A and B are shown apart, each in its own frame.
Chain A
Amino acid sequence: MSATYYFAIVGSADSPLYEAEFGVQRNENKHLHQFVVHAALDLVEDALFTTNACYLKIVDTYNDWNVSAYVTPSNVRLMLLHEVKAEEAIRAFFIDCHELFVKTLTNPFYDPSMPIQSQAFDAKVHSLAKKYLL
């Protein structure tokens, strides 16, 4: 069974900074993915109270899907919608994405409230997904 993933970076003002889909896409509405992730944001906040860690593992489930979250110290949430449970792979994926995000932050031309439009960032995220998830 081929896996699909939906990855989103949600900024501290709750607006999406970046979205990407990996794997084979079935005929599922992208809006549904966004909705599920958005609904999970509240649960992420709750989970933050319980732990000091960045990686929050699975915070929510919806039918077949699981939502995993990783929250950076600056309250930027990396959310992954997935069916297959692969905790360690997802953790590694999140950590590398966090590093990529920090590199984007150090670019003086990047405004932290704006969506990330760099092609280089997109390409690297896809290659990380290929490495860890697919």
Chain B
Amino acid sequence: MAKQYKAIGDEAWKNSVEKVNAELFIFTYGSLVVQLLRDHEDCTSVNQQLDKLGYNIGVRLADDMFARTTLDRCPDVRSTADAVAKVGFRMFLNTTPTVGLWTNDNEFSLLIEDNPLNDFCELPPRALRDGLWYSNVLCGVVRGALEMMHMQARVWFVRDVLRGDDTSEIRVRVERMLDEEVPAADE
């Protein structure tokens, strides 16, 4: 099953997605974070804004991913995690996080070794002190995508290379399955 996801992800990256210059994307994201910091001054609200941004991206990406690949419905949380990591991240960011640190079958970690958003970036001391998660948009994306698949999840950053840790880790806890309903409008 795992090998299947990897193959689907690789094939999607090669053939089904349009590509853009990585540096353009990375610089755009960097200026976005810097501008948010200037507007909000407070790192907690910047983290929240990034998460909201990511949520809006994620709700669209989920259907996009299924449209471009031959994936079927995932039977359980474990295969959902594999699909997110090996297909989703691979297709849209060209990096494959490792899925690990499972607890209770509904909580897991995505360990990202080479997050492309982090290239060139060095956090200033103020952002380090105040707890900025630079790539928090990724948490929002995962949360939004899972919600489109009718799973309510809490997603948060645990470790980040930019903060001095050895790897970046996003923790995902699937809290419950949602009934068919329209997702909540602007939070």
Q: Is B33 an interface residue (CB 8 A)?
A: yes
Q: In chain A, residues 78-132, which have Cβ atoms closer than 8 Å to a Cβ of chain B? A: 103, 106-110, 118, 120
- Can you name the residue of chain B whose Cβ is closest to the Cβ of A106? B120
Over the window 75-109 of chain B, the binary record of Cβ atoms lying under 8 Å from chain A Cβ atoms (1 yes, 0 no) is 00000000000000000000000000000000000
Q: Tell me if B31 counts as interface (CB < 8 A to partner A).
A: yes
Nearest CB of chain B from residue A54's CB, rounded to whole Å: 22
Contact status A108-B127, CB under 8 Å = no
Nearest B residue (CB) for A107 = B122
Q: Interface size of A by Cβ–Cβ distance < 8 Å?
A: 8
B71 CB within 8 Å of chain A: no
Docked CA distance A37–B121 (Å): 31
Interface of A, secondary structure class, is: loop
List chain A residues, Cβ under 8 A from B34.
108-109
Expressed in whole angstroms, the Cα–Cα distance for A92 and B27 within the complex equals 29
- In the complex, which residues of chain B have a beta carbon less than 8 angstroms from the beta carbon of A106? 27, 120
B123 contacts the other chain (CB 8 A): yes
Q: Closest CB of chain B to A127's CB: distance in Å? A: 17
The contact of B120 among A107, A118, A120, by CB within 8 Å, is A107
Q: Mark B1-32, 1 if CB is under 8 A from A, else 0.
A: 00000000000000000000000000100110
Contact with A along B54-80 (1 / 0, CB 8 A): 000000000000000000000000000
Tell me the bound Cα distance from A108 to B31 in angstroms: 6
Q: Which residue of A lies closest to B127 (CB)?
A: A109
Bound-state Cα–Cα, A110 to B127, Å: 13
Interface string of A9-27 (1 = CB under 8 A from B): 0000000000000000000
Given contacts A106-B27, A108-B33, A109-B124, could you give 17 more A-B pairs where the C-beta distance is less than 8 Å?
A106-B120, A107-B30, A107-B120, A107-B122, A108-B27, A108-B31, A108-B34, A108-B120, A108-B121, A109-B30, A109-B34, A109-B121, A109-B122, A109-B123, A110-B122, A118-B122, A120-B122
